[in-house]
Amino acid sequence: MPAERPAETLRRVCRTQTGTKASSTPGLDWRAPFWTDTFLVNRVVWVNPVESIFARALPVDTDLRDAGVCGPELAHLAAIYCDSPRALTFRAPSPDWRLMMLILPLASRLSLLSNPIFAGLARSWGLGVRFIGVDRDGLAYDFRALLSDRTLGLLIELLAACERGTLRNEAPWLDVLFDALASEMLTMLERRREDWARHLDREHRLEPGVAASLFAHEDRYPDFMARLRQALREHSIDTAFYGRVLRSIDAREAEVDLRLHRIVLGQLDVQTLAGLHGSTAGLHLGCYNWLRLAPRHQHARAHLLARLPWMAHFLAETLIPVETGSACHVLDLRLRQAIDAGQDRLAIEALADRLGVNPALMRRLWREPPVELGVPPAWLVPALLHDLEAMSPQEWPRNTAAWQALVASAGETALAVR
């Protein structure tokens, strides 16, 4: 019998229905199908629970869904908001992966999204989907670039099943989606192992409610929020009810974010996470991957992050490609060697050389890290340092507002150059 390819072996499925599982977090409503899918791949058997995570229902939903109270359009969008899954998680989808997670925006125009004529609209909606993976070594990946049109189409069908109210009673949609994920994504990754490093997450933070958070809400339910504000302007709802709805959104989304945070955090390497605790940059997945890629040098790298937390984005964007062999700029190689040597003087001089500034400037920032600066994007750091270098020590910003003004000015300069 010829050897099976990964996509073929993943289709050999033995399903056993296990019922509905209750939430482990009080008040949070999450449901697995829950089918236990047992796959035989390379003569190894493992089990893959698929979890669909929903926001919990609240008392305000009764009035929010009532067309007589809020109007038919807002009531329809509210039903979509309440009934749509926030995320799908696939635990151990293959021996190479500990976790894959899809974080979904709401799809309020399903009749258009599911029409092939509006394929561009579906792709635009897909830009809001976040596809996160954690491999067996504990490295975190961002797979947004790998979402195919077929997978996006299946996601839209999944949300359409939610709108019809059939998802929670019928598991096959998740079976189909997982089959697409297995046959397309896992097989492609298996064939292109050398490309995995290109998708290492470099930008997201794991904490909810911060800049560049993995769980950002800006593009998750824009139509619902726009109609809610319009209803307030049109006096379809009063201010008190509007406030109740906003508080309910904050409460339930915070619970969902906490659940997703715990799922991802539970799959990451504990020792590497401990190295991030000394830095005010937080649980930055780019810096986590940078530390995880070189366990022998984790201490030296964590020490640098603790002294220069505002450079978290720059260090991840600059040095992860060097670590994975996808970039060979001589200054980046020297910077990595200097940091891994564990000597502060060498690291400071290499950073100054890489950024084209005076080492004295980097020494001052090393001694007095500007907490008010936050974590600017990687492309902004060189312009920001050049603006600082042109200022006398007495002219340096003294508070958060002054630092943000300097960041805005440096951003304009950098964009003009680009």
- Mean pLDDT value of segment 358-375: 91
Amino acid letter, residue 309 = P
Whether cis (ω within 30° of 0) applies to the bond prior to 34 is yes
| Torsion over CA: 316, 321, 327, 328 (sign) | positive
The size of the chain, in residues, is 418
Per the model's pLDDT, the better-predicted residue between 188 and 134 turns out to be 134
Q: Percent of the chain, pLDDT > 90?
A: 37
One DSSP character per residue, 198-242 reads GGB--S-BSSTTSTTBTT--TTTSHHHHHHHHHHHHTTSS-HHHH
| Torsion over CA: 263, 264, 267, 268 (sign) | negative
E strand or H helix at 101, and its extent? strand 97-103
With vertex at residue 217, the alpha carbon angle to CA 212 and CA 219, rounded to the nearest 5 degrees, is 95
36-40, 163-167, 236-240 — which is least confidently predicted? Answer: 36-40
pLDDT tier at 182, thresholds 50, 70, 90: low
Per the model's pLDDT, the better-predicted residue between 210 and 31 turns out to be 210
Question: Taking 50 as the threshold, does the pLDDT of residue 5 lie above it?
Answer: no
Instruction: Give me the torsion for CA of 317, 321, 322, 328, rounded to 10°.
Output: -110
What would the two tokens of residue 411 be? 């951003």
Asked if residue 163 lies in contact with residue 83, where contact means CB atoms within 8 angstroms, the answer is yes
Instruction: Give the number of C-alpha atoms closer than 13 A to the C-alpha of residue 82, restricted to the C-beta side.
Output: 20
- Mean pLDDT value of segment 382-398: 90
pLDDT tier at 418, thresholds 50, 70, 90: low
Question: Taking 60 as the threshold, does the pLDDT of residue 93 lie above it?
Answer: yes
Residue 12's pLDDT is what?
32
Residue 23's pLDDT is what?
39
Instruction: Report d(CA 318, CA 338) in Å as an integer.
Output: 14
pTM for the predicted model, two decimal places: 0.81
81-85, 120-124, 213-217, 380-384 — which is least confidently predicted? Answer: 120-124
Question: Taking 90 as the threshold, does the pLDDT of residue 240 lie above it?
Answer: yes
Strands (E), 104-199: 130-135, 140-142
Q: Name the average pLDDT for the chain.
A: 79
Question: Taking 50 as the threshold, does the pLDDT of residue 22 lie above it?
Answer: no
181-185, 246-250, 305-309, 375-379 — which is least confidently predicted? Answer: 181-185
pLDDT tier at 25, thresholds 50, 70, 90: very low
- Mean pLDDT value of segment 71-76: 89
